Amino acid sequence: MGKFYVTTSIPYVNAEPHIGFALEIIQADVLARYRRHKGDDVFFLTGTDEHGVKIVRAAKAAGKTSQDFVNGVTKKFKDLKKILNLSGDDFIRTSDRKRHWPGAQKLWFKLYDAGKLYKKSYRGLYCVGHEAFITEKDLVNGKCRDHQEEPEIIEEENWFFKLSDYTNKIKEKIKSDELLVMPKSRKNEILSLINEGLEDISFSRPRKDLSWGIPVPNDSKHTMYVWCDALSNYITAIGYADDEKKFKKWWPANVQVIGKDILRFHAAIWPGMLLAAKLPLPKTIFVHGFITVGGEKMSKTIGNVIDPFEVVKKYGADALRYYLLREIPSGEDGDFTYEKFEERYNADLAKGLGNLVARVLTLAQKNSAQDGSASGGKVFKNKTFALEIKKIEQELNQLVSNFKFNKALEKIWQLIALGNKYIDEKKPWALKTESKEFKEIIGSLLFLISNIGALLSPFLPETSGKISGQLKNRKISILFPQLK
């Protein structure tokens, strides 16, 4: 049994969760569930980033203290576990003084003792949206390309991390795939950025300007900046500060799932910090794209932000999981509209999977009524189905390992199409229920949907469980009612 440690990024809690983060955490959940199914010992971490200027401003606008504000928003992120049926093992908060702060401060001292932190006066462009200093090359028409806002000009004395010392090492690790960045387009993107040369980065802010955060352990006049605070969550949650056995068991992470807007932070700054602290690098960084809504970027101003809670309330968790995993190309941008969502729901879930399970179980009930058996007939291992299932199981292993979740589901739906085609060709409803042929056809179909249910378990866990329960009890319930 191997170990598998998977993390998501930790979303910033100045706003409630939207469908973009739902995509990320569902992708990570699929990886965790799949590896558990393969027999690995899995640890799946998520959490929230709760410090910084944006929080202070958002809390003030809401008439709350920073702590009360983050408590309220963080609860919504924690609630995602239930509404999306996630299998997370832990949830780390950067405002947690017992679990997070000691590890972040320990990492600070590691960097300091290595001679990689120094103080200097600095004048630069500060993007509140990113909670980061940026450069002129990050601007488009004088505005941050991601947030479409002009940066603030800030002049202050800060602690800096000598990231520039690690330019060549980080480049070598990524180029050789020792630190695997996927998809390849993101690897090329980060290498292009590194080729321009990595600059030293600000690692603190004056405490008089930002008191909401972790104090710099060797300088009470400064607050630890986002890098050593937020990025360290991946190790503080697994005992970096005080549980060496646990830390050595889980680190390095096998996969860190992030969005493309924070690639530089995770594939340049984070590796630099780890190298300075003499810690292993994560094995893989998987980068997903953005979700647009009707071709437009999600925006509160436009009013097109999709709330995952609302989608689940109306359609169910597995319907949302299916759309995000199947419709959004892995590692690329994708689009969401309710029209596309309902189209995919009806075609694939209601008419495809739901229809197949209902047809098979209805026929199995006829067999049960005919022979008086509560079991509803025996499962018959159809050789043709068995070969196709084995082939797809092998393909799934490769596809999931390469984060091609949409292609993996496409393969499973080939089995669903195979089952519906088999029923149409064999026409079991025209046969006598007591005949050997009828029993073998129904037994073969029960075998098929049993395996389809098992293959679906990492992707659609609730549906997988319902299929298993219906097969056991031979009681039909509609998996996905067709939408009008």
**Which residues are registered as beta bridge partners of 223?**
205, 215
Lowest mean pLDDT among 64-68, 147-151, 220-224, 466-470: 147-151
**Within a 10 A sphere around the Cβ of 475, how many other Cβ atoms?**
11
Residues 306-325 as b/e (b if ≥16 CB within 10 A, e otherwise) read bebeebbeebbbbbbbbbbb
- Map residue 43 onto helix, strand or coil: strand
Packed helices 436-456 and 461-473: angle between N→C axes, nearest 10 degrees: 150
Place of tokens 């600070």: 108
The angle formed by the CA atoms of residues 233, 238 and 239, to the nearest 5 degrees, is 105
Q: Are 209 and 156 in contact (CB under 8 A)?
A: yes
- What percent of the chain clears pLDDT 90, i.e. is strictly above it? 81
Q: Are 406 and 472 in contact (CB under 8 A)?
A: no
The domain spanning residue 418 has which CATH number? Answer: 1.10.730.10
Question: Does 369 fall in a domain?
Answer: yes
pLDDT at site 302: 76
Tokens of 290: 């953005």
The whole-number average pLDDT for the span 456-475 is 93
pLDDT at site 84: 98
CA 415 from chain centre, in angstroms, equals 26
Backbone angles phi, psi at 141, to 5 degrees: 55, 40
Question: Does 355 fall in a domain?
Answer: yes
Beta strand ranges found along 116-233 (DSSP E): 117-127, 132-134, 139-140, 143-144, 152-161, 180-182, 201-202, 204-206, 215-216, 219-224
CA distance 216 to 225: 9
Question: Does 128 fall in a domain?
Answer: no
The number of folded domains in the chain is 1
Query: What is the residue type of 285?
Result: I
**According to the 3-state scheme, what is the secondary structure of 328-389?**
CCCCCCEEECHHHHHHHHHHHHHHHHHHHHHHHHHHHHHHHHHHCCCCCCCCCCCHHHHHHH
Backbone angles phi, psi at 167, to 5 degrees: -50, -55
pLDDT one-digit tens code per residue, 167-183: 999 999 999 999 999 99
The whole-number average pLDDT for the span 376-403 is 90
Residue count of the chain, please give it. Answer: 484
Task: Read off the pLDDT band of 372 (50, 70, 90).
Answer: very low
Question: Does 321 fall in a domain?
Answer: no
Question: Does 308 fall in a domain?
Answer: no
Lowest mean pLDDT among 23-32, 51-60, 83-92, 283-292: 51-60
Of 19, 30, 83, 86, the C-alpha closest to 335 is 19
Is a pLDDT exceeding 80 seen at residue 271? Answer: yes
The whole-number average pLDDT for the span 344-348 is 97
What does pLDDT average to over the chain? 93
The whole-number average pLDDT for the span 424-443 is 92
Is pLDDT larger for residue 374 or for residue 84?
Answer: 84
Task: Read off the pLDDT band of 371 (50, 70, 90).
Answer: very low
Is a pLDDT exceeding 80 seen at residue 219? Answer: yes
pLDDT one-digit tens code per residue, 279-329: 999 999 999 999 999 999 887 767 889 999 999 999 999 999 999 999 999
pLDDT one-digit tens code per residue, 391-405: 999 999 999 999 999
CA distance 281 to 271: 6
Q: Are 457 and 432 in contact (CB under 8 A)?
A: no
Residues 6+ apart with CB under 8 A from 288: 23, 24, 27, 257, 258, 259, 260, 328, 330, 331
Question: Does 316 fall in a domain?
Answer: no
Residues 6+ apart with CB under 8 A from 220: 207
Q: Are strands 219-224 and 284-288 parallel, antiparallel or unpaired?
A: unpaired
pLDDT one-digit tens code per residue, 102-153: 999 999 999 999 999 999 988 778 776 666 777 777 778 778 777 677 888 8
Residues 164-194 as b/e (b if ≥16 CB within 10 A, e otherwise) read ebbbeebbebbeeeebbbbbeebbebbeebb
**Within a 10 A sphere around the Cβ of 136, how many other Cβ atoms?**
8
Question: Does 396 fall in a domain?
Answer: yes
Backbone angles phi, psi at 95, to 5 degrees: -90, 0
Q: Are 253 and 28 in contact (CB under 8 A)?
A: no
The whole-number average pLDDT for the span 200-207 is 93
Which bin fits 331, alpha (ψ -120 to 50), beta or left (φ > 0)?
left
Question: Does 426 fall in a domain?
Answer: yes
Is a pLDDT exceeding 60 seen at residue 374? Answer: no
Is pLDDT larger for residue 62 or for residue 147?
Answer: 62
Beta strand ranges found along 28-99 (DSSP E): 41-48, 90-93
Print the domain residue range for 465: 340-473
**Which residues are registered as beta bridge partners of 224?**
204
Q: Please name the helix (run of DSSP H) or strand (run of DSSP E) that holds residue 109, with its range, or none.
A: helix 101-113
Q: Are 51 and 233 in contact (CB under 8 A)?
A: no
**Within a 10 A sphere around the Cβ of 43, how many other Cβ atoms?**
21
Of 190, 253, 212, the C-alpha closest to 58 is 212
